[in-house]
Structure 1
Amino acid sequence: MSLAEITVHADTFYIAAQSVPEQHKYVFAYSIQIDNRSGQSVQLLRRHWLITDANGKQVEVDGEGVVGEQPKLAPGESYSYTSGAVLETPVGTMQGHYVMLDEQQQEFLVEIPLFRLAQPNILH
C-alpha cells in the first residue's frame, strides 16, 4: 500500500481554562483526521507519539488504537478524533505514526506529520 493513500491532518487548540502557566502546565487539544484514499479497507491498530516541548524534553507514547477505538475505514472513508497533551512549555511539537492493518492482514505504518502546539500569539 502506498503511504500517500492514507493521509493524516491535525488541527490544534490551546486550552487556556485548563492551563496554569505559573506551574508550567500548558494544555492543548488536537483533532486528527485520517483519510483512506486507497482501494481497500484498513484498520488502525496502534499509535506511537513523540511529544517534544520547547526545553527539548521528549515523551514517547505508545498504545492500542486511539481514544479507546481501533477504527476501520472503508475505501473513501475518514475518521476523526480529538485528544490532548500537556506540556511544561507554551510551545511544543507532536509527531509519530499509526500501525495499520490492510485487507491481507499485513501491518503497515502511516506517518503522522509533525505539528506544532503553541499558545496563541506566542509565535510570530
Structure 2
Amino acid sequence: MAESNKTGRYEANTDGMIIAVTPQFLEDESAPSRSRFVWAYTVEMENGSDTTWTLTLRHWDIIDSLGRRQTVDGEGVVGQTPRLEPGDTFRYSSGAPLSAPSGMMSGSYTFVSDAGEELSARVPAFSLDSPYDRVRPS
C-alpha cells in the first residue's frame, strides 16, 4: 500500500524492493498561461531482499486532472540499468510535463535476477499538484 507523509514522499514495498518517490512542482519551468505545468520527481529504490536485481524496464501511467492518460514504457531509467545487490540503494531524478495543472503518476519497474527471475516492483501512485489547480484529483 502506498503511503505519503508531510514531506510528499510516497513509498511502496514489493517483495523487499522498496520504491519511494518525492515529486516537486517546478514553478520556473512551468508556463500556466500556455497550459504547461512541469514536475520533477526523485525516485529512490532500495533492495531489501536477499537477491541481486538489475532494473531492466520501466512503465509509467500518467493521468492529468482532465482525464488524459499517457503511458510510457522503456528500458532502464535515465539511460541506466542499475544493478542492486542486497542492501544497495539507487536514486535518480526525472521530470514530467502536463498540459493540466495537476495529475497522478504510478507505474512499475521490472527487475531481473542473476538466475533470470523477474520481479515487477510497484511504483506507488503519487500526486502531481500545482498551486494553479483549484480541484485536486482524488
TM-score of the aligned structures, taking structure 1 as reference length: 0.93
Match in the other structure for 2:94: 83
Q: RMSD between aligned alpha carbons?
A: 1.7
Where in structure 2 are there 5+ consecutive unaligned residues?
1-12
Percent identity reads 33
Residue type at the aligned position of 1:111:
R
* 1:121 shift after superposition: 7.8
Cα displacement string for residues 65-106 of structure 1 (whole angstroms, at most 9, x for unaligned residues): 000000000100110000000011111010010110013112
1:20 counterpart = 2:31: yes
Where in structure 1 are there 5+ consecutive unaligned residues?
none
Aligned counterparts, 1:56-75, within 5 A:
56-75=67-86
* Matched residues, number: 123
Structure 2 CA distance for aligned equivalents of residues 51 and 11 of structure 1: 15
Structure 1 CA distance for aligned equivalents of residues 129 and 14 of structure 2: 28
- Structure 2 residue matching 1:22: 3-state secondary structure: helix
* 1:10 shift after superposition: 0.4
Match in the other structure for 1:39: 50
Residue type at the aligned position of 2:20:
H
**Equivalent residues of 2:46, 2:87 under 8 A apart:** yes
* 1:108 shift after superposition: 2.0
Residue type at the aligned position of 1:113:
P
Which of 8, 27, 36 is 2:19 aligned to? 8
Structure 1 CA distance for aligned equivalents of residues 132 and 65 of structure 2: 16
Which of 50, 53, 65 is 1:54 aligned to? 65
Residue type at the aligned position of 2:85:
A
Residue type at the aligned position of 1:94:
M
Regions of 4+ moved over 2 Å: 120-124
1:117 counterpart = 2:128: yes
